[in-house]
């Protein structure tokens, strides 16, 4: 069986690149979430400013994953800004003023690009050329 010249070096480089992407993943995902927030915020109805002030994103980093949740703070728990859902979808007496989903949709291309650029940059910085 013939040895493949440079195989060990290639495997080491690929391992370094994968570790680099893994270490940078929370930051990459956070930057992608920033793009989503930037698209949602200007679409939000503004009467008192409380809704905009409650827009946030939180990151959760696992061993091999990263997640960012963009939400209107407390809306999921029926908190102080519970009316965000009524603004988004409307009620029997109030027409919908969608802001969240249109913002997510508008950010989709930018999010994909931020993630792709982040992964490539992490690979290059940690052993790629």
Per-residue pLDDT for 38 more than 60? yes
Q: What is the pLDDT of residue 39?
A: 97
Specify the DSSP class assigned to residue 2. Answer: P
Instruction: Find out whether 55 and 37 touch, Cβ atoms under 8 Å.
Output: yes
Q: Each residue of 39-50: pLDDT tens digit?
A: 999 999 888 888
Distances (CA, A) of 66 to 23, 25, 102, 104, 117: 10, 6, 24, 18, 16
pTM, to two decimals: 0.83
Per-residue pLDDT for 119 more than 70? yes
Q: What is the pLDDT of residue 97?
A: 93
Q: What is the pLDDT of residue 75?
A: 53
Per-residue pLDDT for 8 more than 80? yes
Instruction: Find out whether 57 and 69 touch, Cβ atoms under 8 Å.
Output: yes
Question: Cα dihedral sign for 105, 54, 70, 118?
Answer: positive
User: Two tokens at 83?
Assistant: 């009316």
Alpha helices in the chain (DSSP H): 7-40, 50-53, 84-89, 100-125
Confidence of residue 4 (pLDDT cuts 50, 70, 90): confident
- CA 89, CA 45: separation in Å to the nearest integer? 13
Q: Each residue of 83-100: pLDDT tens digit?
A: 888 999 999 999 999 999
Q: Average model confidence (pLDDT) for the chain? A: 88
User: Two tokens at 25?
Assistant: 């993943």
């Amino acid at each position: 069986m013939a040895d493949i010249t440079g195989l060990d070096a290639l495997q080491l480089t690929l391992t370094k690149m994968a570790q680099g992407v893994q270490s940078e993943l929370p930051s990459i995902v956070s930057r992608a979430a920033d793009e989503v927030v930037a698209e949602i915020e200007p679409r939000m109805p503004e009467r008192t400013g409380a809704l905009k002030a409650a827009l946030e994103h939180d990151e959760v980093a696992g061993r091999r994953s990263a997640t960012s949740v963009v939400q209107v703070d407390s809306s999921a728990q029926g908190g102080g800004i519970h009316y965000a859902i009524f603004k988004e979808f409307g009620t029997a007496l109030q027409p919908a003023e969608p802001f969240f989903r249109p913002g997510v949709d508008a950010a989709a291309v930018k999010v994909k690009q931020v993630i792709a650029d982040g992964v490539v940059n992490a690979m290059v910085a940690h052993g790629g050329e």
